[in-house]
Amino acid sequence: MTSPPGSEPWGIRPLPWPDALSRPFFEAAAAGRLVLQRCTVCGEAVFYPRPYCTLCAGELEWTEASGSGTVYTFTVIHQNLSGAFSERVPYVVAMIELAEGVRMMGNLVECPPRSVRIGMPVRACFVEAADGIGIPLWRPA
Amino acid sequence: MPSRPAPRGGLVADRTPVIAGIGLSDLPVTPHLSAPGHHALAMKRALDDCGIAKADIDGFMTAGAYDEAVVTAEYLGIRPRFIGGAMTGGSSFELFTEQAMLAIEAGHAEAVLITYGSNLLSQSGRTLGTGDISSAPAKPGASGASPGPSGASPGASGASGASLDSGSPAAPAAPAEPTRPARPPRQKVVSGPAAFEAPFGNTLVGSYAMAATRHMHDFSTSPEQLAEIAVAVRAHAAMNPAAMHRDPITVEDVLASRMIAEPLHLLDCCLVTDGGGALVITTAERARDLRQPPAYLLGAASAMTHWNVSQMPDFTTTAAARCGPEAMARAGIRPSDVDVVQLYDSFTITVLLLLEDLGFCAKGEGGSFVTGGRIGPGGALPVNTDGGGLSACHPGMRGIFLLVEAVRQLRGQAGEAQVPDCQVAMACGSGGWLSCMGAVVLGAQHP
- Cβ of A105 within 8 Å of Cβ of B184? The answer is no
Cis-peptide, bond into residue B181, ω within 30° of zero: no
> What's phi and psi for B44, nearest 5 deg?
-55, -45
Q: What is the pLDDT of residue B159?
A: 37
Q: What is the pLDDT of residue B150?
A: 31
> What's phi and psi for A113, nearest 5 deg?
-50, -35
Q: Considering only CB atoms, which chain A residues are within 8 Å of B148? A: none
Q: Considering only CB atoms, which chain B residues are within 8 Å of A26? A: 195
Nearest CA in chain A to B201: A85
* B216/chain A closest Cα distance in angstroms: 10
Give the DSSP per-residue string, B28-87.
S--TT--HHHHHHHHHHHHHHHHT--GGG--EEEE--SS--HHHHHHHHT---SEEE---
Mean residue pLDDT of chain B comes to: 88
- Cβ of A80 within 8 Å of Cβ of B203? The answer is yes
Task: Report the share of chain B in percent with pLDDT over 70.
Answer: 84
Q: What is the pLDDT of residue B124?
A: 78
Q: Considering only CB atoms, which chain B residues are within 8 Å of A13? A: 187, 199, 201
Tens of pLDDT along B259-288?
A: 999 999 999 999 999 999 999 999 999 999
Q: What is the pLDDT of residue B174?
A: 39
- Cβ of B262 within 8 Å of Cβ of A75? The answer is yes
From the list A48, A74, A93, the residue facing B196 with the nearest CB is A48
Q: What is the pLDDT of residue B200?
A: 98
| Contact between residue B92 and residue B39 where contact means Cβ atoms under 8 Å apart | no
- Residue from A25, A81, A108, A135 to probe the interface with B (highest B Cβ count within 10 Å): A81
Burial bucket for residue A51 (CB in 10 Å: 0-12, 13-18, 19+): exposed
User: B6 vs B170, which has greater pLDDT?
Assistant: B6
| Contact between residue A65 and residue A121 where contact means Cβ atoms under 8 Å apart | no
- Cβ of B200 within 8 Å of Cβ of A93? The answer is yes
Give the start-to-end residue ranges of the domains of chain B. 17-120+273-443
From the list B178, B193, B209, the residue facing A75 with the nearest CB is B209
Tens of pLDDT along A101-132?
A: 999 999 999 999 999 999 999 999 999 999 99
- Cβ of A91 within 8 Å of Cβ of B197? The answer is no
* B253/chain A closest Cα distance in angstroms: 18
- CA–CA separation, B207 and B79 (whole Å): 39
Residue B171: other Cβ atoms inside 10 A: 9
Q: What is the pLDDT of residue B65?
A: 76
| Contact between residue B434 and residue B208 where contact means Cβ atoms under 8 Å apart | yes
- Cβ of A79 within 8 Å of Cβ of B258? The answer is yes
Q: What is the pLDDT of residue B184?
A: 73
* B238/chain A closest Cα distance in angstroms: 28
Strand B275-283 and strand B424-431: the pairing is unpaired
Tens of pLDDT along A60-102?
A: 999 999 999 999 999 999 999 999 999 999 999 999 999 999 9
- Residue from B203, B220, B257 to probe the interface with A (highest A Cβ count within 10 Å): B203
Q: Considering only CB atoms, which chain B residues are within 8 Å of A93? A: 200-202, 206, 210
CA-nearest of B167, B230, B173, B8 to B103 is B8
Kindly state the helix (H) or strand (E) to which residue B21 belongs, with its residue range.
Answer: strand B17-24
Tens of pLDDT along B100-128?
A: 999 999 999 999 999 999 999 998 765 55
The pLDDT-based confidence of B66 (bands split at 50, 70, 90) is confident
Tens of pLDDT along B141-190?
A: 333 333 333 333 333 333 344 443 333 333 333 344 445 556 677 899 99
Among B61-70, B72-81, B139-148, B278-287, whose mean pLDDT is lowest?
A: B139-148
> What's phi and psi for B162, nearest 5 deg?
-75, -25
Residues paired with A133 in a beta bridge: A130
Q: What is the pLDDT of residue B5?
A: 52
Nearest CA in chain B to A138: B200
Q: Considering only CB atoms, which chain B residues are within 8 Å of A74? A: 210, 213
Which residue type sits at A129?
A: A
Question: What mean pLDDT do residues B248-258 have?
Answer: 98
Q: How many CB pairs under 8 A join A and B?
A: 139
- Cβ of A14 within 8 Å of Cβ of B190? The answer is yes
Could you give the ipTM of this predicted complex? 0.96
- Cβ of A13 within 8 Å of Cβ of B201? The answer is yes
- Cβ of A48 within 8 Å of Cβ of B191? The answer is no
Q: Considering only CB atoms, which chain B residues are within 8 Å of A73? A: 210-211, 213-214, 217, 315
The pLDDT-based confidence of A3 (bands split at 50, 70, 90) is low
Cis-peptide, bond into residue A72, ω within 30° of zero: no
Cα B446 from chain centroid?
26
Interface of A with B (CB under 8 A): 11-19, 22, 26, 47-48, 72-85, 88, 91, 93-95, 103-107, 113, 118, 129, 135
CATH number at B17-120+273-443 = 3.40.47.10
